[in-house]
């Protein structure tokens, strides 16, 4: 089942989504009225790729730029530089009607199911909205699609007439998922899809996302700060710190053999119920706060908190370099 599916998918070698040197910056005012404009580089020269039917997770702490990177891919914020190629289409240069058409290909599942559904629309209308604005389906086709989607995400047909406040958090997230699926997108960006949900409900939604991926060959860009969830969901991982990818690799290689001191510190900070892991794991402390994102240091951005830091790290920034097949690390010690 799953294996044959992913095998078939792997035969198509070209990744579905290729992001090259993506940069997003925001202008910030600092100092007096005539002072020079300075920029905050939320995403700085980031490249990654996602194969069809697979999941790439972007992890990092708040402020690391993971959400901004995803928003830029979906054309919800403007990129300053870089290239996004989705199924052979140069996504960043699209304008007007072309862009509107292309929006069917990328859909978003948002973090907070309480604020991301319009409280004045009934559940069916929430799911119908993207169909109305992005497709040319007839009314019957739309209703058929909605019926099918409600069944897929595990909601009853009668619930279509309810308003968002009449659903529990998990059910609301299911509506969000149905809405994201409605235009049959190539890529679904899941931005912390379960972090607002109760633990028991998280499992339901994560299992649903995996089941849908298996059934429809969906491709996910999965953003999360919860490493346990990421470990369960992803096929490959990009670890971001201060707008840069510091480590990038496939699931097994990265989790079993993390190389970057930041990744190691992140993993060691996660509390675990596994007694063996707790005994094995040496906590790596990274004291202090990240540097000021507007005045970044010259060298490695992690240098100020890194337990392994040497002079060279403060002088120049390490490049993301390949250490084996798919695993890349931006650290002089890898």
Partner 1 sequence: MKNSHNSPLLKVENLRIELTTRDGVAPVIDDLSLELRAGETLSFVGESGCGKSMTALALMGLLPEKVGRVAKGSICFNGEDLTTASPARLNEIRGNDISMIFQEPMTSLNPVYTIGEQIAEVLRRHRGMNKAAAWQRAIELLDAVRIPNPKNRVSDYPHQLSGGQRQRVMIAIALACEPKILIADEPTTALDVTVQAQIFDLMRDLGRELGTATILITHDMGAVAEMAERMIVMYAGRMAETGPVQQVIDHPRHPYTKGLISCVPHLLAQLTAERPPLAEIDGIVPSLKDFGRDECLFASRCERANEQCRNQRPPEVGFSAGQLSACWQAEDV
The least CB distance from residue 230 to partner 1, in Å, is 9
Q: DSSP character for 156?
A: -
Residue 269's Cβ-side half-sphere holds a number of Cα atoms within 13 Å equal to 15
**CB closer to partner 1 out of 50 and 234:** 234
- How is residue 256 written in tokens? 């079993």
Query: What element of type H or E holds 231?
Result: helix 227-233
Q: Which chain residues interact with partner 1 by CB under 8 A?
A: 61-62, 168, 170, 198-204, 206-207, 210-211, 225, 227-229, 231-233, 251-252, 255-256, 265-278, 280-281, 283, 285-289
The Cα 310–Cα 231 span in angstroms is 31
**CB closer to partner 1 out of 110 and 262:** 262
C-alpha distance from residue 189 to each of 12, 58, 204, 215, 244 (Å): 21, 11, 18, 17, 19
| Residue written as token pair 């339901």 | 204
The Cα 176–Cα 170 span in angstroms is 10
The least CB distance from residue 18 to partner 1, in Å, is 25
**CB closer to partner 1 out of 96 and 271:** 271
The least CB distance from residue 272 to partner 1, in Å, is 5
Residues 215/131, Cβ–Cβ less than 8 Å: no
> Which residues have CB under 8 Å from 77's CB, separation 6+?
24, 68, 71
Distance from first CA to last CA of the chain, Å, rounded? 37
**CB closer to partner 1 out of 125 and 203:** 203
The least CB distance from residue 128 to partner 1, in Å, is 26
Phi, psi angle pair for 106, to nearest 5°: -125, 125
The least CB distance from residue 130 to partner 1, in Å, is 27
Phi, psi angle pair for 181, to nearest 5°: -80, -15
The least CB distance from residue 305 to partner 1, in Å, is 9
**CB closer to partner 1 out of 258 and 299:** 258
The least CB distance from residue 139 to partner 1, in Å, is 34
**CB closer to partner 1 out of 80 and 284:** 284
Query: What element of type H or E holds 132?
Result: helix 123-134
**CB closer to partner 1 out of 52 and 66:** 66
């Amino acid at each position: 089942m799953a294996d044959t599916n992913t095998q078939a998918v792997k035969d198509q070698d070209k990744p579905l989504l290729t992001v090259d040197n993506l940069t997003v910056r925001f202008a910030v005012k600092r100092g007096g009225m005539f002072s020079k404009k300075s920029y905050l580089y939320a995403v700085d020269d980031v490249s990654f790729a996602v194969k069809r039917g697979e999941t790439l997770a972007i992890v990092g702490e708040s402020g690391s730029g993971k959400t901004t990177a995803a928003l830029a891919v979906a054309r919800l914020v403007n990129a300053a530089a870089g290239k996004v190629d989705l199924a052979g289409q140069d996504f960043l240069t699209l304008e007007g009607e072309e862009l509107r058409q292309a929006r069917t290909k990328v859909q978003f599942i948002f973090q907070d199911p309480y604020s991301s559904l319009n409280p004045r629309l009934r559940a069916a209308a929430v799911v119908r909205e993207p169909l109305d604005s992005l497709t040319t389906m007839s009314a019957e086709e739309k209703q058929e699609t909605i019926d099918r989607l409600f069944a897929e995400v595990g909601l009853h047909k009668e619930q279509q007439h309810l308003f968002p406040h009449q659903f529990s958090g998990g059910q609301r997230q299911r509506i969000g998922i149905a809405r994201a699926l409605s235009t049959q997108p190539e890529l679904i960006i899941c931005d912390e899809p379960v972090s607002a949900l109760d633990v028991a409900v998280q499992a339901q939604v994560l299992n649903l996302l995996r089941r849908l991926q298996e059934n429809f060959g969906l491709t996910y860009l999965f953003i999360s700060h919860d490493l346990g969830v990421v470990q369960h969901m992803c096929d490959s991982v990009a670890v971001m710190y201060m707008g840069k990818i510091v480590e990038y690799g496939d699931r097994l290689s990265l989790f079993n053999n993390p190389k970057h001191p930041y990744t190691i510190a992140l993993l060691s900070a996660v509390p675990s119920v596994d007694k063996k892991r707790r005994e094995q794991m040496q906590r790596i402390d990274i004291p202090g706060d990240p540097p000021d994102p507007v005045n970044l240091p010259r060298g490695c951005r992690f240098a100020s908190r890194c337990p392994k830091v040497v002079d060279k790290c403060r002088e120049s920034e390490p490049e993301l370099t390949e250490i084996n097949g798919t695993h890349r690390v931006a650290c002089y010690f890898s």
